Structure 1
Amino acid sequence: MYYNGIYHLFYQYNPKGAVWGNIVWAHSVSKDLINWEALNPAIYPSKHFDINGCWSGSATVLPNNKPVIFYTGIDPDNYQVQNYAIPANLSDPYLREWIKPDDNPIVVADETMNKTAFRDPTTAWKVGGHWRMLVASRRKHRGMAYLYRSRDFKKWVKAKHPLHSVANTGMFECADFFPVSLSGDNGLDTSAVGPNVKHVLKVSLDLTRFEYYTIGSYIPEPRDKYLVDKNFVDGWDGLRFDYGNYYASKTFFDPSKNRRVLWGWSNESDTAQDDINKGWAGLQTIPRKLWLDPSGKQLLLWPIEEIETLRGQKVQLSNQELKLGEHVEIKGITAAQADVDVTFTIPNLDKAEAFDPSWTNAQDLCGLKGSIVQGGVGPFGLLTLASENLEEYTPVFFRVFKSQDKHVVLLCSDASRSSLRESGLYRPSFAGFVDVDLATEKRIPLRSLIDHSVVESFGAGGKTCITSRVYPTLAVFDNAHLIIFNNGTETITADVDAWSMGKPNKMNN
């Protein structure tokens, strides 16, 4: 949340180890979303209603400028109950201490509900005289987003109907429900409704460990309804914020810059023992600004502008021609810690290979058609975190196919060759399709943020995003290389802007 000039990031944390357990709410503060200072945990198990854990939730800043945290506590029966906490001292700019009032819990599951699958309350929003919030759950195999209403922010009543539910998804987690503007890229306060507003419902699915979102219409009166727009897939094959190692994300409205900002968690791809050895596990990805694509068919995500303050040495390549099999190294920057923005121009699409309609799963297709499998138009893109002789590399690349009536564009971030370590690593070929009209544009941009074990990539201006966690053994520090390549028969050209990235500092007081 943003409060009185300070950003507050609360996150699930085990202060006693690098694996799951002893979960508290860690607390860090920043003035710019880049340079952070870690404080003591804001919330930790201390009362009967959270004695077995303080799990995820949300913050809401009330109209009287008082912040309230909702969170899931695990009680002595291991039931999941919803609690609230308030700052002990509003005059402390860092809000270091939080109080859990004695009227907790404020929401408990009733007898019709699953008391051990009932968690992650959302930021609240207000329409008319009532506040609303969602709690994620499941009923057998159906994902549930239960709706609660309150007049005073303390007494909450479950609505007769859930705001939304989907069959055969399994457990909803970390639900997020927020408005987006139909015009422009400004964010909206979470309580915004009206004719120029659409709503987004995002759920994290425990069974797949991926997240999915839909866009639709929210009708608050007479009873709250969320109607998914036509042509949206609502479930396992739906749209995602990120097609890679990305989960449990959460947005907030940043009133200082009138934007909606998305945080996502990227967990490790190595083993629990590896995590114990290094003493930490999991990280937050770079915050992303989020808004509605002008088509209305999807969201756009882009790294917050503040990340550019870390840019250092810059190199440029202009109109670099790439024929079949050609590799060109981008020299002069720190390839292990870089921000690289490439625009690929494709003069001719005639050689695009035929698209098989059975290729419905992008990740499977990327595994089948990897970066070294020669194509017509592509594969072309970046080799990130590459060792000198390409024993290790993580390619991020496009491949263009021709279906009956349009071109199909695939974006891949393939970890299968990312490390020489032979066991204990999850090395998927992450991928997503990109909704672009190449026949008109003839060009497609790709931006990647590379940071030692993380590669965050943004295709076509943020239409398709993929985060990969990789663990190179050779391509580390000064031994990492960054290369543009083309393994398609169609010659393409690349325009590159690339920067060495510096390290953040602790927040300036």
Structure 2
Amino acid sequence: MYYNGIYHLFYQYNPYGSVWGNIVWAHSYSTDLINWIPLEPAIYPSEPFDINGTWSGSATILPGNKPAIMYTGIDSRNRQIQNLAFPKNMSDPLLREWVKPSYNPVIDPNRFMNESAFRDPTTAWLGKDGNWKVLIGHKRDSRGIVEIYRSRDFKTWIKHKHPLHSVDNTGMFECPDFFPVLLKGKEGVETSVSGNHVKHFLKVSLDLLRYEYYTVGHYYPETERYVPDTTSSDNSSGLRMDYGNFYASKTFFDQSKNRRVLLGWANESDTKMDDIRKGWAGIQTIPRTLWLDESGKQVVQWPIMEVETLRGLSTHMSNVTLAVGAQIKVQGITSAQADVEVTFSLPSLEYAEPYDPAWVDAERVCGYKDASNPGGLGPFGLLTLASDKIEEYTAVFFHVFRAQDKPVVLMCSGGKMSSLKTDAYKPSYGGFVDVDIKDESLSLRSLIDHSIVESFGAGGKTCITSRSYPTLAVGEDAHLFLFNNGTTPIIVTKIDVWSMGKPKMN
């Protein structure tokens, strides 16, 4: 949350080790969303209503400029219930201490509900009827549900007679997020805004599949229903926040810059023993701004502008020809920590291979049409975190296919060559990019940081986060290459690369 000039990040944390367990709400603060300073944990198990766990939740700023946290506690009966916490001292600018009122829990599952799948309340919004509303993730059998509750005083909550939304055969809806997005422009709006100038966005994290999908649609407060647009696939085949290692994301409205900001969690893909050796596990991704695409069919994500304050030495090139089989090393920057922006110019689409309509699973296609597999128009892109002789690399690339209506653009990241370690999970992540390439160009931005590569295709329409654990491409021995493994040359219209400095990280 943003409060009185300071950003507060609360996150699930084990203070006693680098494997899951003993979870508390750790607390760090920042003035720029880039440099973070740790504080004491804000919430930890201490009362009968949360003695067996303090799990995810959200912050809401109440009237009188008073922050409130609603979180899931695991009570002495091992039920998942919802509790409140408030700052102990409102005059403390860092809000170091939080107290839990004795009237907790404020929401618990009724006897007809699944009390072991009832968690992760959203940021609340204030309806025009004077009621606060909040969503809670739920599951009944295989049906994912977002329950909606209302309250006049933020203390006594009443369950609506039906869910805001539910979908069969998805499993548990974890970490829901629900907020308005403007029909036009890149600015965000406060969570309580409604009207004809906005659509609504609903995101859920799928516990079974460990990824997130979202829909864009309309919220009807009169009936407390959310209806996705017909252009939003409302199941696990729908649009994803990120097509890689990215989960349990959360947004907040940053009123200081009128933007909606998204943070996600990337877990580790190596072994638990590696985590214990490192002494840490799991990272937050770079904060992203989020807005509705001009088409109205999807959202766009882009790294917050503050990340550019870390930029240092740079290299800039234009009109570079990537011949067939080209691997061109980018010089003059620290490739283990870099920000890369590149635009590719495509030749005639007649060179593209035909698209098979059976290719509905982008990740599978990226697996067997990887960076080393020659194609027609692609694969072309970046080899990040690459060793000097390219024994290791994390590829980020496009592959363009010819289809009946318009070209199909596949974006991939990761892959089996990202590490020589045999016990690391090394998938080829992938997603399709809904982009019109009539101007015959494609853009890509990648943020590279030692063990993570966050990539944004076509200005942020498709995002993929990869974790990598190179053994050779480490530190100064990490390199960056432009490559083309298609059967026709590609032109790099422009590439800008910056070495990135190290922020304060707790």
- How does the TM-score come out when normalised to structure 1? 0.98
Amino acid at match of 1:429: S
Amino acid at match of 1:488: G
Amino acid at match of 1:197: V
Q: CA deviation at 1:231?
A: 2.3
Q: In the aligned structure 1, how far is the partner of 2:220 from the partner of 2:302?
A: 29
Match of 2:480 in 1: 482
Q: CA deviation at 1:277?
A: 1.4
Q: Is 1:47 the equivalent of 2:44?
A: no
Match of 2:434 in 1: 435
1:468 is aligned, of 440, 461, 466, to 466
**Deviation string, structure 1 residues 263-306 (Cα, Å, up to 9, x no partner):** 00000001112111111100000000000000001100000000
Q: In the aligned structure 1, how far is the partner of 2:63 from the partner of 2:393?
A: 50
**Deviation string, structure 1 residues 93-137 (Cα, Å, up to 9, x no partner):** 000000000000000000110001100000000112110000001
Q: CA deviation at 1:216?
A: 0.4
Match of 1:79 in 2: 79
Match of 2:196 in 1: 195
**SS of 2:372's equivalent?**
coil
Match of 2:158 in 1: 157
Q: Is 1:351 the equivalent of 2:362?
A: no
Match of 1:219 in 2: 220
Structure 2, unaligned stretches of length 5 or more? none
2:449 is aligned, of 441, 447, 451, to 451
Match of 2:266 in 1: 266
Match of 1:140 in 2: 141
**Deviation string, structure 1 residues 31-67 (Cα, Å, up to 9, x no partner):** 0001110001000011110001100000001131000
**Deviation string, structure 1 residues 458-487 (Cα, Å, up to 9, x no partner):** 000000000001100000000000000111
User: Is this contact kept in 2: 1:348–1:490, CA < 8 A?
Assistant: no
Q: Is 1:492 the equivalent of 2:490?
A: yes
Q: CA deviation at 1:414?
A: 2.4
Match of 2:242 in 1: 242
Q: In the aligned structure 1, how far is the partner of 2:283 from the partner of 2:5?
A: 24
Match of 1:400 in 2: 400
Q: In the aligned structure 2, how far is the partner of 1:277 from the partner of 1:85?
A: 35
With 273-282 and 78-87 compared, the bigger mean Cα shift is at 273-282
Q: 1:184 to 1:278 in 2, by over 3 A?
A: same
Q: What are the equivalent positions in structure 2 for 1:244-323 lying under 5 Å apart?
A: 244-323=244-323
Q: In the aligned structure 2, how far is the partner of 1:271 from the partner of 1:56?
A: 25
Match of 2:167 in 1: 166
Q: In the aligned structure 1, how far is the partner of 2:420 from the partner of 2:373?
A: 20
**SS of 2:174's equivalent?**
strand
Amino acid at match of 1:486: N
User: Is this contact kept in 1: 2:187–2:260, CA < 8 A?
Assistant: yes
Match of 1:378 in 2: 378
**Deviation string, structure 1 residues 383-416 (Cα, Å, up to 9, x no partner):** 0000011110010000000111210000000231
Q: In the aligned structure 2, how far is the partner of 1:45 from the partner of 1:435?
A: 45
Q: In the aligned structure 2, how far is the partner of 1:441 from the partner of 1:180?
A: 28
User: Is this contact kept in 2: 1:263–1:285, CA < 8 A?
Assistant: yes
User: Is this contact kept in 1: 2:328–2:482, CA < 8 A?
Assistant: yes
**SS of 2:239's equivalent?**
coil
Amino acid at match of 1:498: V
**SS of 1:161's equivalent?**
coil
**SS of 1:478's equivalent?**
helix
Amino acid at match of 2:479: H
Q: CA deviation at 1:505?
A: 2.9
Match of 1:5 in 2: 5
Q: CA deviation at 1:506?
A: 6.5
**SS of 1:32's equivalent?**
coil
User: Is this contact kept in 1: 2:414–2:468, CA < 8 A?
Assistant: no
Q: How many residues align?
A: 504
Q: In the aligned structure 2, how far is the partner of 1:151 from the partner of 1:505?
A: 41
Structure 1, unaligned stretches of length 5 or more? none
Q: In the aligned structure 1, how far is the partner of 2:463 from the partner of 2:422?
A: 27
Amino acid at match of 2:168: A
**SS of 1:275's equivalent?**
helix
**SS of 1:331's equivalent?**
coil
**Deviation string, structure 1 residues 174-224 (Cα, Å, up to 9, x no partner):** 000010000100001000000101000000000000000000000101x21
Q: In the aligned structure 2, how far is the partner of 1:231 from the partner of 1:456?
A: 26
Amino acid at match of 2:73: G
Amino acid at match of 1:146: E
Match of 1:387 in 2: 387
Q: Is 1:233 the equivalent of 2:233?
A: yes
Q: 1:250 to 1:506 in 2, by over 3 A?
A: closer
Q: In the aligned structure 2, how far is the partner of 1:125 from the partner of 1:66?
A: 14
Q: Is 1:504 the equivalent of 2:489?
A: no
**SS of 1:350's equivalent?**
helix
- How does the TM-score come out when normalised to structure 2? 0.99
User: Is this contact kept in 2: 1:415–1:470, CA < 8 A?
Assistant: no
User: Is this contact kept in 1: 2:400–2:408, CA < 8 A?
Assistant: yes
**Deviation string, structure 1 residues 248-275 (Cα, Å, up to 9, x no partner):** 0000000000000000000000111211
Amino acid at match of 2:184: S
Moved segments of 4+, more than 2 Å: none
Q: In the aligned structure 2, how far is the partner of 1:225 from the partner of 1:114?
A: 21
User: Is this contact kept in 1: 2:126–2:132, CA < 8 A?
Assistant: yes
**Deviation string, structure 1 residues 326-361 (Cα, Å, up to 9, x no partner):** 111111000000000000011321100000111010
User: Is this contact kept in 1: 2:367–2:415, CA < 8 A?
Assistant: no
**Deviation string, structure 1 residues 426-459 (Cα, Å, up to 9, x no partner):** 1101000001111x12101000000000000000
Identity %: 64
Q: In the aligned structure 1, how far is the partner of 2:363 from the partner of 2:18?
A: 29
